Amino acid sequence: MEIKHLVSSKDLTKDEYEELLRRFNYFVENGISPDLCRGKIVSTLFFAPSTRTMNAFQMAILRLGGGWIGVMGEEGLSMEKGESFEDTIREYSCFSDLIILRHPDDDSADRAAKSSYVPVLNGGSGSREHAIATPWVLLSMAYYLKRPLEGLKIGIYGTPEINRCVKAMMPIFGMYGMEVIIDDLGHFPLPKEIEKRSKANGLKSLKYDKLDNFIGDVDILFLTRGLQKGIIPADKFPKEKEKMILKSYKPITKEHMKKLRDDAILFMLKPRIFEIEKDVDPDPRATHSKKEPYGETGAAIITYYLGIDI
């Protein structure tokens, strides 16, 4: 039997996103039973730093009644003795039922999937892909909006050109026939290839405009992180580009929130460094500061890949 991995956001069909959404909603409504994954094990292998992805999956498998083992950094591993990455991954696939991987190399998730006996979910391979983020963002948006995703109007503010998560989400926005308007700070447009794929998937429209011109229209105001610390290595990210971002990325303020519709949400790819001012946090539409449904999201993804009926 072939093993289903999640190396790229392209690995999931719309039906599969819908199935994940169904499981997510089930857990939100019914809670997460600790009988579902008794004795099951998730390996969280984080060769690059993470707060959210790693802990969210550790949390989810614990809520489901299983447990986790893990790696943070390369210290203490047999890789220090010279073991290859592939051999290390294969060993972890003998230790567990599912692998969540983050690694600085762009091709790491592909290579891991090839040597693993269990599903590998890509939680960030270099600057290229963070495949897990795609269902993650989609389920969160559905949760906070509390209405169907089909045909939504999404405003994006920030640096789509260099943001791996926006690049992964766009084709999915296409699947759901959404309209997208981008304020790229004047300098960081979406790569053409991504635009093309998104439109091929059904994206209703893609426009560029100033945030002020569209903030009152959108269902979701979607912010990228400003800086790319921890994702793009410092030596590969030109200092002048960083300066340009810091100069042109104006944090979201209470004034912005006044223009946002009452039934819209503000959604940010955390960590928030400076992108949203702190006095925005109490706003009910500001989702980054709310009690997040991390357990439910993780449980939907884990049970799906473990083939557990819900």
For the CB of residue 76, give the shortest distance to its own copies in the complex, in Å.
Answer: 4
Site residues for its own copies per CB under 8 A: 32-34, 38-39, 41, 46, 49-52, 55-56, 58-59, 62-69, 72-73, 75-83, 87-88, 90-96, 117, 227, 229-230, 270-274, 289, 291-292, 294-295
Q: Which two tokens stand for residue 56?
A: 């969210």
What b/e string do you get for 112-140 counting C-beta neighbours within 10 Å, with b at 16 or more?
A: bbebbebbbbbbbbbbbbbbbbbbbbbbb
Q: Shortest approach of its own copies to residue 43 CB, angstroms?
A: 8
Q: Enter the tokens of residue 141.
A: 């948006």
Q: Are 206 and 182 in contact (CB under 8 A)?
A: yes
303, 48, 25: which is closest to 138 by C-alpha?
A: 25
Closer CB to its own copies, 87 or 212, in the complex: 87
Q: Which is nearer to its own copies, 72 or 145 (CB)?
A: 72
Q: Which is nearer to its own copies, 67 or 202 (CB)?
A: 67
In the complex, least distance from residue 56 CB atom to its own copies, rounded to whole angstroms: 7
Contact 233, 227 (CB under 8 A): no
Closest separation between CB of residue 179 and its own copies, Å? 30
* Residue 18 C-beta: closest distance to its own copies, Å: 25
d(Cα 200, Cα 170) in Å, to the nearest integer?
11
| CB-nearer residue toward its own copies: 10 or 52 | 52
For its own copies, the closer CB: 66 or 174: 66
Nearer to its own copies, 126 or 295 (CB): 295
Provide the minimum distance between the beta carbon of 33 and its own copies in the complex, in angstroms, as a whole number.
8
- Closest CB 32 distance from its own copies, rounded Å: 7
Rounded least distance, CB 277 to its own copies, Å: 12
| Closer to its own copies by Cβ: residue 73 or 216 | 73
Q: In this complex, which beta carbon is closest to its own copies, that of residue 103 or of residue 219?
A: 103
